[in-house]
Structure formats: C-alpha cells, structure tokens
C-alpha cells in the first residue's frame, strides 16, 4: 500500500511547484528590507487614501524600533499589539521584530478579562494600543505586567482632510480619544521621532510571534512561532502559485482579514510585503467597503473566510459591480461550502481555492492547486516541505479513504506552546503536530477535513460530521448561512441541530419542515437535523469563523 510517506501529492502539483523549499536563515523583517530595496517607490500600504511607499514603511518601522529600544525593549521582550488593520499595526509589528522583541497579537475585541489573561500569560511589559480600546486596558492595567503603553489613533495615518474631521466623528460616535498624560504612557507618533535602529540580527530559531489560540482546549494559549516558521510559510505560499512571480511588485492585496489573526498576518500582510504588493488596509472586514476597495484598487488577491465569500455572493447588485480584477482567493479558517465557491467563481471569474491551516503551523499547511484540479470539498494537498498523514488513535497511519486524525510536519510548525510543556508534549510528537482535525486522504494525496474531533456528533452510535450536513443545507436556494451542532438527546445521546440564516427573499416563505424534507432527500435518516432554528445571524469569531460552541451553549441555556 502506498502511504503518505511516498508523498503521492507531489505528482499532482502544478508545473513549476517544487516539492521542497529552501528557507534562508533570515529574520522575518528581512523580507520588508528586501522589498524596500526592490520596490522603493511602490505603494506598500493604502489606508483610507493615505499611502506609504516601501521605502517609507521600512524607515518608519526602523524608527519605531529605535523608539522601543529607547523605552528599554531588549531582545526577547514581548510587545503586545492591540490594533485593527492599519499602518500602525505593520509598523509596530516589524518595528518590534527589529528591536529584537517578540510580537504578541491581541484581538481588539477582547474583554478586559481576556486581555488581562493574555498580557499576564505572555509576560508582556509593552503594549501598543488604539486609543478607542484603551478604557478596556485601563480596567485591568494594574493586574498586568505592562510597564509601557504606546497609544495611537486612527487619525494618525489618515490623509488630509480626513485627519482633521476624524475627531468630530469619534466624538459623535462616543469613541474615546487620547490617553492619560502620566508615566508609562507614550504617543505612537513620539516613538517615530527616534533615530532609526539598526535591526536586531535575530537567529531564525528565535521567537518572532506569540499567536494565542483556543486550540483543542478551552484556555487560550500562545503558539510559539519563530522567524523561520513565518518566513517558511511565506515562501511556501509563494512557491504554491507558479504564476505569482509575474505579479511581484504589481499585485494588489486586500488586507481585510485581521492581521492579529495569523491567517491574515501571513497570507495578507507578510506575503503581500514579500511580493511587493500594494496592500489595501481595511480596519474591519465589512462587505460594503470590501466591494468598493476591489473596484477602486483593482484588487488581484482576496484572501478570506467562507462567511466573507457568502456575504460577497449575496451583496446587493454584485453581478453588476466591477470585480473581475480578482485573480486568486485563498479561503481558510473554516470549511468552504461547495455551493459558495461555485457562485463566487461565476461572479468574479477568479479561482477560489480552499486551503487549510492552524495557528500552530504559521498557519497554512494545505491548499488546492492554483492551476490544476480543485477537488470540491477538499483542502487540497500539502504545501512544499510539508509532510502530512492521517492516523488512528494509536498514531498508526490509516489506509486511503479512511478517517483519522490529521498530523503535519514542516518548517512552518511551531516550537510549542508558551510556558505549557504538558500541552506541547500532547500536540507535538517527534516533530509531528497533531491537529485535532478528523480527515481522510485520497489516492492522489488530496486531503479532506471531515470535522473537528470535538465537533463530531455521535447520535445513536452513529458518527455524524456537521460539515457534511452543512454542505447539503447550503445546496438549498433559501439558505444563506448554516451551522450544525450536536445537542444532548435523552434517547440518542446526541442529536443534530441546524441553525440557519435565510436569504432575505426567502424569509417567511420557507419553513423548518421544508428544510427537513430537503435533508431527507439528500442524507441518511440518522444525519437529518431533528432541530432546525432560523436566526437573523450566526455568532462568529473576529476572523469570521462560525462559533458552534456558542450555539451549543445558547441551546443548552434555552433548554435549561
């Protein structure tokens, strides 16, 4: 029997895609330096009309590094960044790396409790934060290790006259501006007045980023990603697209995915900077501004998540909009329903390819090919230099087509979890990362995620995978969004519950019974949802992933 060790996928790579990549021994900041040398006058960032060239971005990041060093930042210190997508995010992250520090991505939606946990866990003595978010930090300031807080505002990088008008808008919206004028608080713009630092020559194995993730357990923990991990994933993504070299220095990247999530950071920010693209920054991934940005900037690359593509497909009048500039879209973070991909490609003429990754792998490990066969419902094949296999409970590889746990290995896989040796030893064994995802591999080396181990529903002894039920629901013309979860059932142990958002034109015209009948035509009886609930929206994470856990909890509260 041929196994994954024979890498059957390599035979199905696009022409020109190498089976392995060479990872140069460089720190991550080097990719910005090289693009600044190659495309000094090219636009690196466009933020609501304000632009920064590659040379200007490089200089501002170096000056920010100088400002951090003046505050006392030493190699290995953790600098937490709590910002939306903005020039300040890019400058702060690359500036922190040049000062020798480790970046810590902080979700701007965090509550004070979540913020306190992450800052304490990371041991972050430095925080870069947006003025609007400062009240949340001030609630827990004394309970964290933070000694220096660097504050910036959206207006710091707005073009004239938006920068003058912004304070009026903020006041009208009730958003706080400014910061306490006391020791330990600093203006972002003040740090930029420092002399440019000589970038710290980090070892590739040094930590570059603590990326906090829920992982397979509830408590948020920091995946330790090195300079090598992050550089490797950028080069793997670039190698995967054999046509990408033609667009270096010319492509336009939509920066709508949050950079504080490693998917947005790697695929939109780091890869965009490496390729010399213009990155169009959007502070929030809202579909109206996304469609406008695609039209205005002739966006070529639109990395997103399924919920964004669902919103795009259902955007009023989308067929009449000028969105044909889009060339390639990588969908990640959650399963991409087949019907969603099909509709998106009909509207844009672009390739929408489903990939797969996880924070612990920087994050991308698999993708469907850019030119070759896209197998619908598949996450594609392992990227160059990634090994992958499907194993049983004992860690033994299972035959083609059988379901087991997906495990991966490669230069993009983390060092471990920050200060959690037990969690690390459970997740990493002999360099293999155990993903917690149930998958199967076909004979050509394409992988299919069946579901999260913890999301699998066991009803009356049968294994039911929510993704399969969701795929069927998405085929119904009335369904805009679907999420399927297991809920307790006194007879079957668990039963299948479906939570649905209907397209506006079908609301009030389609019943739960209609959807149940549709499922009965397309699914074995034990997989058919016994509970169907219509909702106005589904709970989502900051990156747009549907939160099944919240639906389960909400259902339990209502039953209780």
- Answer yes or no: do 484 and 545 share one domain: yes
Judged against a pLDDT cut of 90, whether residue 270 lies above it is answered with: yes
464 part of a folded domain: yes
Q: Same structural domain for residues 257 and 384?
A: yes
Q: Is residue 90 part of a domain?
A: yes
Q: Answer whether residue 36 is part of any domain.
A: no
Tens-place pLDDT, residues 513-529: 999 999 988 888 889 99
Per-residue pLDDT at 180: 80
Look at residue 104 and give its three-state secondary structure: strand
| Residue 471 scores a pLDDT above 80 | yes
Which one of 406, 437, 452 terminates a domain?
452
CA distance 432 to 410: 8
Q: Mean pLDDT across the stretch 344-358?
A: 94
Rounded to 5 degrees, what are φ and ψ at 223? Answer: -75, 125
| Per-residue pLDDT reduced to its tens digit, 18-27 | 999 999 999 9
216 within some domain: no
- C-alpha distance from residue 304 to each of 77, 144, 322, 398, 547 (Å): 32, 33, 19, 32, 17
- Write down the pLDDT at residue 522: 84
pLDDT for 532 equals: 96
Which of 10-14, 408-412, 456-460 bottoms out in mean pLDDT, i.e. has the lowest? Answer: 456-460
Same domain (yes/no): 464, 419: no
Q: What letter does residue 397 receive in the DSSP assignment?
A: B
Count of structural domains within the chain:
3
Domain of residue 479, CATH code = 3.30.300.30
In a domain, 489, yes or no: yes
Do 403 and 287 fall within a single domain? yes
Kind of pairing, strands 78-82 and 126-130?
A: parallel
Do 250 and 339 fall into the same domain?
yes
Q: Categorize the per-residue pLDDT at 505 as very low, low, confident or very high, splitting at 50, 70 and 90.
A: very high
pLDDT band at 219 (very low <50, low <70, confident <90, very high): low
User: Would you state the pLDDT for residue 306?
Assistant: 86
The pLDDT, as a whole number, for residue 216 is: 40
Give residue 77's domain range.
Answer: 54-203
Same domain, 395 and 292: yes
Task: Give residue 453's pLDDT.
Answer: 67
Decide: helix, strand or coil at residue 42: coil
The count of residues in the chain is: 560
The verdict on 178 and 107 lying in the same domain is yes
Q: Of the candidates 433, 452, 471, which is a domain's last residue?
A: 452
CB atoms closer than 10 angstroms to residue 296 = 14
Across the range 454-468, mean pLDDT stands at 77
Looking at the fold, whether 429 and 464 belong to one and the same domain comes out as: no
Span of 49-63, 169-183, 249-263, 460-474 with lowest mean pLDDT: 169-183
> Percent of the chain having pLDDT more than 70?
98
pLDDT of residue 2: 59
Residue 83's CATH number:
3.40.50.980
What is the helix, strand, coil percentage profile of the chain, to 5?
Answer: 35, 25, 40
Domain contains 29: no
Question: Do residues 276 and 160 share a domain?
Answer: no
**CA nearest neighbour of 129 among 99, 92, 157:** 92
Asked if the model's pLDDT at residue 288 lies above 80, the reply is yes
**236 and 141 part of one domain:** no
- Are 228 and 16 in contact, with CB atoms under 8 Å apart? no
Residue that finishes a domain, picked among 424, 452, 480 = 452
| One domain, residues 283 and 398 | yes
Do 267 and 303 form a contact (C-beta atoms < 8 A)?
yes
In this predicted structure, which of 108-112, 281-285, 362-366 has the lowest mean pLDDT?
Answer: 108-112
- Structural domain includes residue 297: yes
Query: Does a structural domain hold residue 73?
Result: yes
Q: Is the per-residue pLDDT at 467 higher than 90?
A: no
Q: How does the average pLDDT of the chain come out, rounded?
A: 92
Are 92 and 235 members of one domain?
Answer: no
Flag whether pLDDT at 5 surpasses 50: yes
Q: Which two tokens stand for residue 336?
A: 């991409």
């Amino acid at each position: 029997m041929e196994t994954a060790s024979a890498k059957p996928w390599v035979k199905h790579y696009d022409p020109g895609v190498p089976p392995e990549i060479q990872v140069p021994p460089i720190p991550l900041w080097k990719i910005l330096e090289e693009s600044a040398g190659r495309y000094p006058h090219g636009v690196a960032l466009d933020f609501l009309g304000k632009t920064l060239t590659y040379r200007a971005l490089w200089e501002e990041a170096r000056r920010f590094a100088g400002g951090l060093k003046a505050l006392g930042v030493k190699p290995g210190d953790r600098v937490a960044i709590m910002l939306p997508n903005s020039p300040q995010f890019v400058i702060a992250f690359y500036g922190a790396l040049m000062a020798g520090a480790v970046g810590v991505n902080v979700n701007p939606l965090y509550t004070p409790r979540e913020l306190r946990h992450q800052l304490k866990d990371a041991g972050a003595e430095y925080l870069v934060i947006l003025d609007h978010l400062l009240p949340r930090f001030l609630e827990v300031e004394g309970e964290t290790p933070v000694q220096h807080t660097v504050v910036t505002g959206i207006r710091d990088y707005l073009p004239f006259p938006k920068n003058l008008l912004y304070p009026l808008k903020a006041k009208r919206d009730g958003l706080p501006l400014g910061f306490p004028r006391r020791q330990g608080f600093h203006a972002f713009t003040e740090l930029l007045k420092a002399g440019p630092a000589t970038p710290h020559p980090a070892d590739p194995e040094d930590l570059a980023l603590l990326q906090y993730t829920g992982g397979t357990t509830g408590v948020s923990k920091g995946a330790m990603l090195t300079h090598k991990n992050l550089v490797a994933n950028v080069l793997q993504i670039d190698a995967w697209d054999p046509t990408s070299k033609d667009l270096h220095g010319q492509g336009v990247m939509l920066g709508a995915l949050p950079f504080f999530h490693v998917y947005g950071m790697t695929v939109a920010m780091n890869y965009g900077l490496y390729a010399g693209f213009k990155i169009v920054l959007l502070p929030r991934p809202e579909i109206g501004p996304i469609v406008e940005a695609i039209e205005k900037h002739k966006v070529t690359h639109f990395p997103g998540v399924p919920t964004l593509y669902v919103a795009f497909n259902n955007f009023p009048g989308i067929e009449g909009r000028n969105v044909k500039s889009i060339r390639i879209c990588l969908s990640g973070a959650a399963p991409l329903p087949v019907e969603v991909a099909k509709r998106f490609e009909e509207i844009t003429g672009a390739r929408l390819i489903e990939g797969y990754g996880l924070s612990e792998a920087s994050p991308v490990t698999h993708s469907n090919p850019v030119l070759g066969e896209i197998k619908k419902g598949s996450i594609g094949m392992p990227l160059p230099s990634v090994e992958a296999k499907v194993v049983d409970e004992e860690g033994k590889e299972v035959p083609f087509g059988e379901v087991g746990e997906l495990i991966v290995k490669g230069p993009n896989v983390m060092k471990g979890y920050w200060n959690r040796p037990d969690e690390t030893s459970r997740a990493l064994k002999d360099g293999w990362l155990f993903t917690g995802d149930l998958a199967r591999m076909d004979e050509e080396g394409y992988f299919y995620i069946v579901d999260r181990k913890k999301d699998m529903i066991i009803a009356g002894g049968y294994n039911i995978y929510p993704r399969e039920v969701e795929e069927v629901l998405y085929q119904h013309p009335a369904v805009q969004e679907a999420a399927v979860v297991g809920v307790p059932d006194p007879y079957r142990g668990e039963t299948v519950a479906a939570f649905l958002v209907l397209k506006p034109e079908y609301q009030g015209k389609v019943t739960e019974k209609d959807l149940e009948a549709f499922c009965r035509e397309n699914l074995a009886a034990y997989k058919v949802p016994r509970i169907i609930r219509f909702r106005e929206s589904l709970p989502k994470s900051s990156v747009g992933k549907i939160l099944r856990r919240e639906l389960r909890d909400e259902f339990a509260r209502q039953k209780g």
